Amino acid sequence: MTAVREQTRAGGERGTSRAPAGGVQVEGLRVLRQGTPVLQDVTFTAPPGAVTALVGPNGSGKSTAVAVIAGDLAPAAGRVTVSGQPVSRLGAARAAQLRSVLPQEVTVAFDYLGAEIVALGRRPWRGQERATERAQVVASALAATDSSAAADRRVLTLSGGERARVQLARVLAQDAAVVLLDEPTAALDLRHQARTLTLCRQIAAAGGTVVVVLHDLDAALSTADHAVLLDRGRVVVAGPVEQVTAKDLERVYRHPISIVSHPVDGRPMVLPARVHAASQPSSTCTGRWASNPSID
Amino acid sequence: MSTLARPLGLFDGARSPGQVAAPAHPLAPGRAGRLTASAGRRRAWWSAAVLLVGLLGVCLASMHLGQYPIPVADVVTGLARSLGLSDAPALASDGVLWNVRVPRIGAGVLVGAALGTAGAVTQSLFGNPLAEPSVIGITSGAGVGAAAATVLATAGSAVLLVPLGAFAAGVVTTLLVWGLAALVRGGGTLTLVLVGIAVNAVAGAASSLMIFLTDTASREAVVFWQLGSLNGATWPAVGYTAPLVLAGLIWSLTMSGRLDVLVLGERAAAHTGVNLRSLRAQAVLCAALLTAAAVSVAGIIGFIGLIVPHLLRLVVGPRQQYILPLSALGGALLITGSDLVARTAIEFVDLPIGALTAVIGGPVFFLLLRRRGSVT
């Protein structure tokens, strides 16, 4: 954490010199899919210099929200701005300079080298940097995701996790002030999950705006500054992670959950109840859960 | 250090996050035994040199061999005289050389270049190495257009109407294939191949109908489009094809960077700043232009756009800045070589070149399909 705080200071200084714009504002968003609303009255702000986690059960609209912020999907109503600019009026080229997006899954059709895939992320800046500068950014992005070894390997020979890290490196290489990540840790092992979450913090420390969809509630609440809890297309809580209570999570996920303070860093720690046998509550789960009528 | 291109400055100097030691430079000259980007560049130049030498060799052999063999020395002096570089006395072979063989070779080069590059462009557009103009039906669509123009046009207007008909039908077919494939989203290769079967069936039916309904002369022309041959290649045909093919090649090269980004899929490509609508439209038109130009001279010749880019990708990797121009060279080599075989394999018989390329193309298609594991 010390290192991150130092970087925050460094990021602040740089913030004054280069003033990375940023921030995502979502106001009164309403999205329909085939006439059925999948997002309704969604309003939240992801400020610059912070990590904002989008959490919620399957089908709660997290990925849809990311798609709308990314400009893939036009909302039926509402307003979305990225770095203060309305997304609906941004051209593809300008949008790519303002925000980068890591989709849930990217399937590469041809066998490019890892470094070539990452270099595609520099496309929004072509003509504004020298080839050596681009190569340096590509190398740094690969190193940051621990995938330097994938630089000169064909991507179709990489494992799922390695491919996911190369894609993350591509998104980092784009170096946009707003970074949208849809489940960046899904395919990763423990170590790379942790590294990816640390990267989120580091981007925020450098003044970036990170909007990240996470399924792991513990990872979300321990990493993020802000959380947006979605349930069936509506915002349940939007604000600092401390505002998310165990009660909110239990209601939304319909599963017993407790939040405790981490013994080392004091940040929130999410503990879902371990429900194993359907008939009998396990010894670690006291009878309290079984008798709780609000949990089904 | 340009700050404009680094709004966040994530990787500026020593502040790079998560970076302990300076990493190996992935785009720097290659480490032994590994495939780096610069190794790809070297291979691309070598491939270009080999293909070019091969193409020149085949061209020379093609001028030399035939029903009426012309000694290589006579080929050289004959060419020099025709180009005004030599004032040696005219030879009896000059007419055959300049009016029959050279335009046929020129047409072969143009048709091959067009089909090779059209294949690379459609594969990029569809994100699938099996998406080749003849497999997905663009070639046969353009063939129907050309055949229809042949049937309907008078002798005078055919020169203009045949390429126009081929182009219009090629564009319509490409859009149709693309629309149909998009309707069955997520179908992948299987969808594409099935759509190709459907489109080829419709085009085949249209051709059959034309053969049935028209007179004998037109019937022969329609059959000619279907078999594919450089038999009818003349200087005027080379004359109108050359600018079309050249324009298509240059157009495809201007798209090379964006076509590379398309490998990420349409959504991620858009996130990286590619204007999808414009790129798709341009790629469709460019592929249709190249295919139609080829079809209007040589009829339906399949699989060139499948074999050539695939082999080249194995050698130089998939980067479009290499694949597009090398596919033009490789296609030219494959067509001129196939035509040489078509002309000389059996004495006094001019085999249909489309049949020859299909003999090589079929197995390559199957190998590609098998390599992909599952067709979905």
At residue A202, the pLDDT reads 93
- The answer to whether the Cα torsion of B71, B77, B79, B82 is positive or negative is negative
Note the pLDDT of residue B255.
Answer: 95
Burial of A1 (C-beta count, 10 Å sphere; 0-12/13-18/19+): exposed
Strand partners, A228: A54, A238
Can you give the three-state secondary structure of B113-146, one letter per residue?
A: HHHHHHHHHHHHHHCCCCCCCCCCCHHHHHHHHH
Which 3 state secondary structure label does DSSP give B333?
Answer: helix
For residue A214, give how far its alpha carbon lies from the nearest alpha carbon of chain B (Å).
19
Q: Which residues of A touch B11 (CB under 8 A)?
A: 136-137, 140-141, 144, 172-173, 175
B41-371 in CATH: which number? 1.10.3470.10
CATH homologous superfamily of A2-244 equals P-loop containing nucleotide triphosphate hydrolases (3.40.50.300)
**Cβ A235 vs Cβ A226: under 8 Å:** no
Residue B169 clears pLDDT 50, i.e. is over it: yes
DSSP letters, A68-133, are HHHTSS--SEEEEEETTEEGGG--HHHHHHHEEEE-S-----S--BHHHHHHHTTGGGTTSS-HHH
Is A265 at the interface with chain B, CB within 8 A?
no
Task: Provide CB contacts within 8 A for B372, sequence distance 6+.
Answer: B129, B130, B189
Is the Cβ of A157 closer than 8 Å to some Cβ of chain B? no
Closest CA to B64 of B330, B353, B331, B343: B343
Chain A contact set for B17 (CB, 8 A): 7, 144, 199, 202-203, 205-206
Q: Which residue has tokens 């080379």? A: B238
Lowest mean pLDDT among A39-48, B62-71, B317-326: B62-71
Position B31 scores a pLDDT of: 41
Q: Minimal Cα–Cα distance from B169 to chain A, Å?
A: 28
Q: What is the pLDDT along chain A (296 residues), one digit of tens a residue?
A: 334 433 443 333 333 344 457 899 999 999 998 889 999 999 999 999 999 999 999 989 999 999 999 999 899 999 999 999 999 898 899 999 999 999 998 888 898 999 999 999 999 998 888 888 888 999 999 999 999 999 989 998 999 999 999 999 999 999 999 999 999 999 899 999 999 999 999 999 999 999 999 999 999 999 999 999 999 999 999 999 989 999 999 999 999 998 888 888 888 889 888 876 555 544 444 444 444 444 44
In chain A, residues with a C-beta closer than 8 Å to the C-beta of B261 are 120, 123
Q: Which of A152, A195, A198, A199 to mutate to test the interface with B (most CBs of B within 10 A)?
A: A152
Q: Does B1 touch chain A (CB under 8 A)?
A: yes
Q: Edge-to-edge, what's the strand order for the sheet holding A178-182? A: A99-102, A178-182, A209-213, A50-55, A226-231, A234-240
Measured between CB atoms, does A144 come within 8 Å of chain B?
A: yes
Confidence at residue A2, expressed as pLDDT on a 0 to 100 scale:
39
- The neighbour count for residue B138, using CB atoms within 10 Å, is 37
Mean pLDDT of chain B: 82
Is residue B268 less than 8 Å (CB to CB) from chain A? yes
Q: Which helix (H) or strand (E) holds B254?
A: helix B235-254
Determine, for residues A139 and B25 on separate chains, whether the beta-carbon distance falls below 8 Å.
yes
Q: Do A137 and B8 count as a contact with CB atoms less than 8 A apart? A: no
C-alpha–C-alpha distance, residues B24 and B29, integer Å: 11
Judge whether A154 and A160 are in contact, CB under 8 Å.
no
From chain A, the residues in CB contact with B260 under 8 A are: 112, 116, 120
Dmax (CA) for chain B in angstroms is 79
Is A41 in CB contact (< 8 Å) with chain B? no
Q: What angle do CA B46, B27, B269 make, to 5 degrees?
A: 95
A40: left (phi over 0), alpha (psi -120 to 50) or beta: beta
B157 touches chain A (CB under 8 A): no
Instruction: Considering only the beta carbons, identify the residue of A119, A148, A175 that sits closest to B10.
Output: A175
CA distance A296 to chain B (A): 36
Nearest to B302 by CA among B227, B358, B368: B358
Mark yes or no for CB contact A202/B18 under 8 Å. yes
Instruction: Return residue ranges of chain A for CATH 3.40.50.300.
Output: 2-244
Q: Are A213 and A182 in contact (CB under 8 A)?
A: yes
Closest CA to B112 of B260, B286, B309: B309
Distance from CA of A268 to the nearest CA of B (A): 24
